[in-house]
Structure 1
Amino acid sequence: MKFFFTLALLGWAVTSFAQDPADIFHKTVDVDRVNAISFDIYNKDQVEYRTWPGDDLLIETSVEIKNVQQDILDFYMKQNRYVLEPQVSGDQMALVSYDKTRRTVKGTEGSAFEDVMIVVYMPEDFAATGDGRYTRTSR
């Protein structure tokens, strides 16, 4: 009887602490020579823009995938699936999602669900001029 009680308690503990894989990563982008920034982000990602007193642009990306093992998320992180890639032309910069044709992730119980939240911290000397477009206000 004691064995079954211990086994049930262990099973409960394992299922209680099992979580979907998640990760947060940060990237800074130097914008010293840039006067205009635009964003071309994968349409299913959530994006939030904030200002901050820093000189660089800071990108914080939170990723959670439901119904998969941690190694699946690790694989996609190594493939740069969630990275915003800077493309500079003169004094213009576009930050573009590296993978804009994301295929559906196969999970342990059918399809997995990705939840990607990107928070972009813009330097204070940039102002919004449209949807996902910013220009430098001082210099």
Structure 2
Amino acid sequence: MRYLITLALLGYTMASFAQDPADIFHRTVDIDRVNSLSFDVYPKDQVEYKTWPGDDLLIETSVQIQNVKQDILDFYMRQNRYLLKPQVQGDQMSLVSFDKTRRAVKGTEANAYENVVIVVYVPEDFTLAGEGQYRRISK
């Protein structure tokens, strides 16, 4: 009996400390020859734009998925599900979500809930030119 109580207490403790998988990753993009930036991000992702004194574009992506195991998040990270892919034409660069048709993630209880927050650090020598568009003010 004592063994069962101990086992139940241990199981409860492990379940209460279990967390949903989450990851944060960073990526820099060289924009030395770019004078115009635009962003085409998956509509359900939250995007914040901030200025910083760096020379490159810094993209910080935070992903949390509820009701799945860590292996599922790792798989999606390897498949570049949350990646912003640069497309350059002349001196213009568009950063486009790699996976624009994300299918629902099947979780352990039902569909999983994805929370993706992307923070884009834009160099100080760029200025806001519209919704998700930046232009270099000096070069």
Residue identity over aligned pairs, in percent, reads 72
Q: What is the aligned partner in structure 2 of residue 117 from structure 1? A: 117
1:62-102 residue CA offsets vs partner (Å, 9 max, x unmatched): 00111111101011000000000000000000000000000
| Aligned ranges 1:1-139 → 2 under 5 Å | 1-139=1-139
Distance in 2, Cα, partners of 1:41 & 1:121: 15
Q: CA deviation at 1:9?
A: 2.1
Distance in 1, Cα, partners of 2:12 & 2:55: 49
Distance in 2, Cα, partners of 1:51 & 1:112: 33
Number of aligned residues: 139
TM-score (norm 1): 0.97
Distance in 1, Cα, partners of 2:101 & 2:111: 16
Distance in 2, Cα, partners of 1:5 & 1:104: 39
Q: Which runs of 4+ in 1 moved over 2 A?
A: none
Distance in 2, Cα, partners of 1:4 & 1:13: 14
Q: CA deviation at 1:7?
A: 1.3
TM-score (norm 2): 0.97
1:19-73 residue CA offsets vs partner (Å, 9 max, x unmatched): 1111000000000000000000000000000000000000000001111111010
Distance in 2, Cα, partners of 1:80 & 1:128: 28
1:105 aligned counterpart, secondary structure:
coil
Distance in 2, Cα, partners of 1:6 & 1:112: 32
Flag structure 1 segments of 5+ consecutive residues without an equivalent: none
Flag structure 2 segments of 5+ consecutive residues without an equivalent: none
1:84-132 residue CA offsets vs partner (Å, 9 max, x unmatched): 0000000000000000000011110110110000000000000101000
Distance in 2, Cα, partners of 1:96 & 1:13: 42
Q: CA deviation at 1:2?
A: 2.7
2:95 aligned counterpart, secondary structure:
strand
